[in-house]
Amino acid sequence: MEEILKKVEAAATANPFFGQMKSAFTNEAAKRTWGDDRWAILPDQPVKVGQTWKKRIENENPRLGLVVNDFQCKLDRITESQGRKVAIITFTVKVSQPADDKNKKTDPSPKPKIEEGSISGTATFDLKAGQIIKQTDETRMHMTMASPGGGNGSSIDFQTLIKQTTTVQSPAERQKQKKEKLAKAKAKAAESKAAEAKKRP
């Protein structure tokens, strides 16, 4: 992640929010994002279509302190996608902070407080490959934080909505996708150039 961070820093010099995002570019954060959290939706034992299961994941977040994610998952269906047999898993997550976070004693600095947090999404699991090949989720967070100026119990109230889709592709699939996008971009540029030529007297 150190090498990735160097590249992102070089490209994000003018981004005023990058300082808040740097904590996501560590080995531990990457392990959580692409390992523990991502695989948390999978059941610990065989399940049938329609069955549900629960799971709890606790992580130490550099900005928020201890965060608890309570997962509610369901095997929605078994189907085929692009010639692959896949399992479609739907999930919701309640995001919260425990009132008895012991780390507050060692790090009493003010941190955002999660008033309400939730995640909902769908994952496509390739049964033969044994991995999640696509995941779409939506995260909603309502948080408050003590105002930097302090005094009179003033606080900042903010809400965020993050939508994201991640896919896993082979190098060959990725190269094919790049070529297709490049071809579309060239075709669009050619159309624009032709349209501009027609406008000229």
pLDDT digits (tens, 9 = 90+) for 122-163: 999 999 999 999 999 999 999 888 776 655 567 788 898 999
The predicted model scores a pTM of: 0.73
Q: Do 137 and 198 fall into the same domain?
A: no
DSSP H stretches of helix in 32-141: 37-39, 103-106
**Count of domains observed in the chain:** 2
- Indicate whether 26 belongs to any domain: no
Domain membership of residue 74 as a residue range: 40-168
Structure tokens at 163: 């939508």
Q: Is 29 helix (H, G, I), strand (E, B) or coil?
A: helix
Low-confidence stretches of the chain (pLDDT < 70) are 19-20, 100-110, 148-153, 201
Q: Do 111 and 200 fall into the same domain?
A: no
Q: Do 110 and 75 fall into the same domain?
A: yes
- Indicate whether 21 belongs to any domain: no
Q: Do 109 and 153 fall into the same domain?
A: yes
Structure tokens at 28: 């531990």
